[in-house]
Amino acid sequence: MTSRATAGALAILAIFWMVWAFIPATNFSGWDEWLVIDLTSRGVLALPFENRPLSLLCNWPGALLLPGTLRGYWLVHGLYLSLTGIVVMALCTRLAPEEPRLALLAGAVAVSWAPLDPMRLDAVLLANYSGFALMSLLGALLLVESARRGRLWLALMGAGLGVAAIRGLESAGAIVAAAPALLWLTVGVSPSVRRRCALAWLLVTGAALAWAAQPLLPGQPGSYQVSGLGFDPHPLRVAGRILRQLGFQLTPLVAPSPREVLQTPALLATAVFAAVWLLRGRGVPVAREAWPRLLRLAAVGLVAATLGHLVLALSRSSVLPLRMQILSAPGMAVLLAAGALLVARLIAPRREWLLAGLAGTALVAIGAGRTAAMQGQWNTAGFWPAQSGALGQIVRFAPGLRPGSFVILLDEVGAFPASFTFRHALRYLYGDDVAGTVWGAEAFLYPVRFAPEGLVSEPYAMIRRPWGVGSRLHHHDELVIVRLDAARELHLLETWPETLPPLPPGARYDPRARLLPDAAPRMEQRLVAAGGTPGR
Tell me the pLDDT tens digit for each residue of 408-445. 999 999 999 999 999 999 999 999 999 999 999 999 99
Closest CA to 46 of 38, 34, 56, 36: 56
Whole-number Å distance between alpha carbons of 352 and 102: 12
Q: What is the pLDDT of residues 323-368, one digit of tens each?
A: 899 999 999 999 999 999 999 988 887 888 899 999 999 999 999 9
3-state secondary structure of 169: coil
3-state secondary structure of 513: helix
State percent of the chain over pLDDT 90: 79
Q: What is the pLDDT of residues 80-113, one digit of tens each?
A: 999 999 999 999 999 998 888 999 999 999 999 9
Residue 198 · residue 180 · CB < 8 Å: yes
Quickly count: other Cβ atoms within 10 Å of residue 307's Cβ. 23
Q: What is the pLDDT of residues 195-249, one digit of tens each?
A: 999 999 999 999 888 888 776 655 455 555 555 556 788 899 999 999 999 999 9
HSE, side-chain direction, 13 A CA sphere, residue 351: 6
Asked whether residue 386 carries a pLDDT value surpassing 90, the answer given is yes
Whole-number Å distance between alpha carbons of 484 and 264: 38
Asked whether residue 283 carries a pLDDT value surpassing 70, the answer given is no
- What pLDDT shows up at residue 288? 54
pLDDT band at 535 (very low <50, low <70, confident <90, very high): very low
Query: What Cα–Cα distance (Å) separates residue 403 from each residue in 437, 449, 512, 515?
Result: 16, 20, 14, 10
Whole-number Å distance between alpha carbons of 390 and 388: 6
- What pLDDT shows up at residue 214? 75
3-state secondary structure of 217: coil
491 bridge partner residues: 483
State percent of the chain over pLDDT 70: 94
Domain ranges of the chain: 3-381, 384-527
Asked whether residue 79 carries a pLDDT value surpassing 70, the answer given is yes
DSSP class of residue 326? Answer: S
HSE, side-chain direction, 13 A CA sphere, residue 36: 27
DSSP class of residue 52? Answer: B
Asked whether residue 519 carries a pLDDT value surpassing 60, the answer given is yes
Q: What is the pLDDT of residues 418-428, one digit of tens each?
A: 999 999 999 99
Whole-number Å distance between alpha carbons of 216 and 220: 7
Query: Helices 152-168 and 191-212: crossing angle, nearest 10°?
Result: 20
- What pLDDT shows up at residue 531? 55
**CA quadruple 173, 177, 180, 181: dihedral sign:** negative
Query: What Cα–Cα distance (Å) separates residue 149 from each residue in 144, 194, 484?
Result: 9, 11, 62
pTM of this structure = 0.93
- What pLDDT shows up at residue 533? 41
Q: What value does the mean pLDDT take over residues 111-135?
A: 96
Q: What value does the mean pLDDT take over residues 303-332?
A: 91
End-to-end CA distance of the chain: 61
Average pLDDT over all residues of the chain: 91
HSE, side-chain direction, 13 A CA sphere, residue 372: 25
Q: What is the pLDDT of residues 39-55, one digit of tens each?
A: 999 999 999 988 899 99
HSE, side-chain direction, 13 A CA sphere, residue 284: 27
Residue 84 · residue 111 · CB < 8 Å: yes
* DSSP annotation string for 233-263: --HHHHHHHHHHHHHHHHGGGTS--HHHHTS
Asked whether residue 279 carries a pLDDT value surpassing 60, the answer given is yes
Q: What is the pLDDT of residues 160-193, one digit of tens each?
A: 999 999 999 999 999 999 999 999 988 888 899 9
Q: How far is CA 258 from the centre of its chain?
A: 28
Whole-number Å distance between alpha carbons of 250 and 214: 34
Q: What value does the mean pLDDT take over residues 20-38?
A: 96
- What pLDDT shows up at residue 319? 79
- What pLDDT shows up at residue 284? 61
